[in-house]
Amino acid sequence: MKEDGIIRALIVDDEPLARTAIRNMLRRHPEVKICGECETGREAVAAIESESPDLVFLDIQMPEMDGFGVLAAIQGERLPRVVFVTAYDDYAVRAFEVHALDYLLKPFDAERFEAALARAKQELSAQDWTDRVRALLKESRGEFLDRLIIKTQGRVFFLPASEIDWIEAQGNYANLHGGGREYLFREAIGMLEGKLDPRKFRRIHRSTIVNIDSIRELRAGFHGDYDVLLRDGTELKLSHRYRDNLGKNFLGAL
């Protein structure tokens, strides 16, 4: 983004109606200047290198080269911010692995689009974006999950594991609690436990996992059980079976 505050946006989609919808929504924002529209991935690569847009609304499935191929082919020193736009939610994990700002599922409404654009504006103020993203792209994937993909109400977004306070079993799913909100994750708690960093997350009950950074206090109960109090006031049970999971650092003084 230039010092004058103008955001140069590029629209990439092989569907004319989709390009029109994005164009009309962007025209409501005088600070956004549309610097081009492309129908194919190859056109997009050329436009990104010649126009140096700040923000790209990028379709995934396109002739000749898909959206991921476009990002891989960019040779310029400066990377644009990317909002993926697609009718398929199958690519959500890959989209966030390449650090897309957002993932719009077609058909999306004006409210959802505005939320994506607002996030893009906020990120555009980060001067170290290119260096940060290039560094992240070079990192090998860690052994444990540090991001979880959440699908809810037609929206797909990225939830950092660090923002999860605790997790409860809900049948074959897991209910994630964080920041006063709940998110249903489509995986059983037993499977999810093995994918989370044990230095941060510990099983304290057959139906509960807790982020140890969210623990405020432990209180001894009956029959070897403990009450686990979180910083947000939530009270959980540490069963005798899982007592050793919190270790001497937590229980040695009790």
| Alpha-carbon gap, residue 93 to 98, rounded angstroms | 9
Identify the weakest region by mean pLDDT among 52-56, 112-116, 157-161, 179-183.
Answer: 157-161
Check: CB of residue 165 under 8 Å from CB of residue 234.
yes
The confidence score (pLDDT) of residue 223 equals 66
Q: Which residue has the higher pLDDT, 84 or 225?
A: 84
Whole-angstrom distance, CA of residue 18 vs CA of residue 116: 16
DSSP code per residue over 200-232: TEEEEETTEEEEGGGEEEEEE-STT-EEEEETT
What the chain holds in terms of domains, given with CATH numbers, is 7-138 (3.40.50.2300), 147-251 (2.40.50.1020)
* Exposed e or buried b per residue across 180-209, where buried means at least 16 C-beta atoms within 10 angstroms of its C-beta: eeebebeeebeebbeebeeebbbbbbebbb
pTM of the model: 0.53
Q: Which residue type does 26 have? A: L
pLDDT digits (tens, 9 = 90+) for 91-141: 665 666 566 788 888 888 999 999 999 988 888 865 555 555 544 444 434
* pLDDT of 2 strictly over 60: no
Distance CA(49)–CA(85), nearest Å, equals: 20
Residue 220, strand partner residues = 226
Rounded alpha-carbon distances, angstroms, from residue 105 to 21, 79, 198, 247: 13, 23, 34, 44
Using an 8 Å Cβ cutoff, are 242 and 203 in contact? yes
- Alpha-carbon torsion (142, 147, 148, 151), positive or negative: negative
Residue 136's pLDDT is 46
Say whether pLDDT at 78 is over 90: no
